[in-house]
Amino acid sequence: MPPFSRKAAAPGATADSVMADVKAGKVAPVYLLMGAENFFIDRLETQLTEALVPEGLRDWALITLFGADTDVETVVTTARGFPMGGDRMVVVLKEAQALDNFARLEAYLKQPQPTTVLIICYKNGTVDKRTKVYTLANKIGVVFEAEKVYENTLPAFIRNYAKDKGLAITTDAAQLMAAHIGTDLARITGELDKLAIALPEGKREITASLVADHIGVSKEFNIFELTDALAVKDTKKVFQIAKYFDSNPKANPIQRTLPQLFRFFQNIFLAYYAPDRSEHTLADYLGMRDWQVRRNVIPAMQRYKARKVMQILSAIRRTDARSKGIGNPSTSDGELLRELLVYILT
């Protein structure tokens, strides 16, 4: 039986589908892992090598090369070698985007070694789909594209990761992690692994309180306390939190605060178009929990008219542009946030 079967990748291959095929014995001669989200590339490469090379053979049957430290000839010569122990050799080319003359890998892909699996990790971008390297990799093997995870999808990523570990995480906890850490997926997963260990015996749910205790989030001064204070127009609390954010800019950058404020007021604006404004109906309409609606959506609707909310959304967009230097030569992020909050509250 050959050590792998040539199998053209299905369009839109996912990490789960790739690993399901490998576990079913459908191993391709080449895996091209590329895209903007390096975390997913690293994770799939690890899963592949662990599945393809038994631990006891990794010193012999697993060879790792780095694009900046090697050349095409070395990659091809290594891939054309024969396994020492076992039926298969796995060659991993990390940081392939740094490999000079990357396009010359085409020669190997035209006639891959039957006993080698070549895993190409191309980070921070994608291989041009018009090139022969991409076309051949997609024809004889598997192409996986790791798409960027954006702020608005982070809570779902966090919930799914927790679920994969047999844990639950409250909506508040997931949102708090997303707001505090941002899109650093390696750090998010590392913190979730630590939280799993920190859970009291017999408990399987991560709460916002646990997150605050273990990853350095202020229980009193965070984005959710800010939106709660804005909902009831608690001016004193709003500016206390703004001052804290300004004194801790690395933990609370304005580029992370503004998207959260935008989503908060966007939900308020959408609530005006709900079939009715009862707590449960609003929660269903907005995809939120009843208690979330009760805590800040309904209070905010009592204090902000729809027109004002629409103006606030525009103001947040303007502040975001100014925080990126557009039409703003000198105003600090802290001052930008204070100006925005004054506008919201008046």
Instruction: Indicate which CATH number applies to the domain containing 48.
Output: 3.40.50.300
Inside any domain, residue 8? no
- Answer with the one of 84, 117, 146 that is the final residue of a domain: 146
Instruction: Indicate which CATH number applies to the domain containing 300.
Output: 1.20.272.10
Q: Which residue has the tokens 């805590």?
A: 295
Inside any domain, residue 314? yes
* Distance between CA atoms of residues 300 and 137, nearest Å: 53
Do 309 and 189 lie in a common domain?
no
Do 141 and 170 lie in a common domain?
no
Q: Amino acid letter at 315?
A: A
Do 39 and 112 lie in a common domain?
yes
Give the model's pLDDT for residue 12.
Answer: 67
Do 205 and 235 lie in a common domain?
no
CB 299 within 8 A of CB 231: yes
CB 135 within 8 A of CB 23: no
Do 327 and 205 lie in a common domain?
no
> Is the confidence at residue 6, as pLDDT, over 70?
no
Give the model's pLDDT for residue 161.
Answer: 93
Domain that holds residue 194: 154-217
Q: Take residue 133 and report the two structure tokens written for it.
A: 């390297």
Do 38 and 137 lie in a common domain?
yes
Do 190 and 283 lie in a common domain?
no
Inside any domain, residue 10? no
Residue 251, classified by CB atoms within 10 Å of its CB into exposed (0-12), middle (13-18) or buried (19+), is middle
Do 262 and 345 lie in a common domain?
yes
Do 78 and 188 lie in a common domain?
no
Inside any domain, residue 86? yes
Inside any domain, residue 7? no
Instruction: Indicate which CATH number applies to the domain containing 193.
Output: 1.10.8.60
Do 96 and 43 lie in a common domain?
yes
Query: Cα-Cα-Cα-Cα dihedral of 217, 220, 225, 231, to 10°?
Result: -170
- Answer with the one of 91, 115, 146 that is the final residue of a domain: 146
| pLDDT bracket for residue 287 (50, 70, 90) | confident
Tally of structural domains, the chain? 3
- Answer with the one of 169, 188, 217 that is the final residue of a domain: 217
Do 229 and 201 lie in a common domain?
no
What is the CA 91 to chain-centroid distance, rounded? 27
* Distance between CA atoms of residues 18 and 72, nearest Å: 26
Inside any domain, residue 2? no
Do 39 and 139 lie in a common domain?
yes
* Distance between CA atoms of residues 217 and 207, nearest Å: 13
Give the model's pLDDT for residue 166.
Answer: 92
Give the model's pLDDT for residue 59.
Answer: 86
User: In this predicted model, what pLDDT tens digit does every residue of 47-93 receive, in sequence order?
Assistant: 999 999 988 888 889 999 999 999 999 999 999 998 876 789 999 99
